[in-house]
Amino acid sequence: MLLFREKVPADWLPKILRNLPAVLVDHAHLERKAATSALNLEKYRDLYPCVEQLNAIAIEELQHFQLVLDLLKKRGIPFGQPYPSPWIAGLMKSVRSGQRHQAIDHLICCSLIEGRSCEKFQVLASKLKDVDSELAEFYAGLVESEGNHYATYLLMAKGIDDEEANARLGYYLDLDFKLIREPNPLPMLH
Ligand SMILES: [Fe+2]
Ligand SMILES: [Fe+2]
């Protein structure tokens, strides 16, 4: 179902496994930002009919955020500062202005972020099994939800203008192909 044109780089998983506490803090911020993104999408006129669907996503992301905060507390890891993600910033930099174009681009960026989360959580669910079974189960429990968000955002973009959304999806998949290969030594999910 995921359309990506490039695999997650091979050095991503070892970096994550070496830095799980920092990754959990980064993950908490990722869920917080996912909740605010869902709310931010409600500003677009083309998405007014989707306001309740977007609220539902924002609520789910806030619940994910709380789940990560609970894990942090349980493990004695303090909630700290987020790292900015060059991959996310690189995608968002290409969002065009103009109501309709902006809405489509913003939706596709959110969709790809959700899609990469879904993909990476799946990897973590399997690779953490023998290392940290609690975390493995936690990540397994998030896969379906992030996959649904990926599909929902993509369908919303296509619902605004199918042809335009397909063209922009192609553009953003190429951009993802380029950006995901940029080295990032920081312990972050994206
Ligand atoms: Fe989430
Ligand atoms: Fe999500």
Q: How far is CA 48 from the centre of its chain?
A: 22
Tokens 């939706």: give the residue.
Answer: 107
Centroid of ligand 2 to alpha carbon of 149 (angstroms): 5
67 Cα: distance to centroid of ligand 1 (angstroms) = 10
**CA angle centred on 106, ends 102 and 108, rounded to 5°:** 120
Average pLDDT over all residues of the chain: 97
What separation in Å is there between the alpha carbon of 53 and the centre of ligand 1? 15
Q: What is the pLDDT of residue 85?
A: 97
Whole-number CA gyration radius for the chain:
16
pLDDT tens sequence across 75-113: 999 999 999 999 999 999 999 999 999 999 999 999 999
Contact 31, 72 (CB under 8 A): no
What's residue 2's pLDDT?
Answer: 77
Only one residue has tokens 């902006």, namely 102
145 vs 9, 25, 30, 79, 140, CA distance in Å? 24, 20, 14, 23, 10
Amino acid 3: pLDDT: 87
Residue 1 has pLDDT above 70, yes or no: no
Tell me the C-alpha distance between 32 and 28, whole Å: 6
- The residues placing their C-beta within 5 Å of ligand 1, an ion, are 31, 34, 61, 64
Q: What does the pLDDT average to over 129-134?
A: 95
pLDDT at 25 over 80: yes
Q: Which of 122, 110, 166 is nearest to 8 (CA)?
A: 122
- Inter-axis angle of helices 51-74 and 133-160, nearest 10: 160
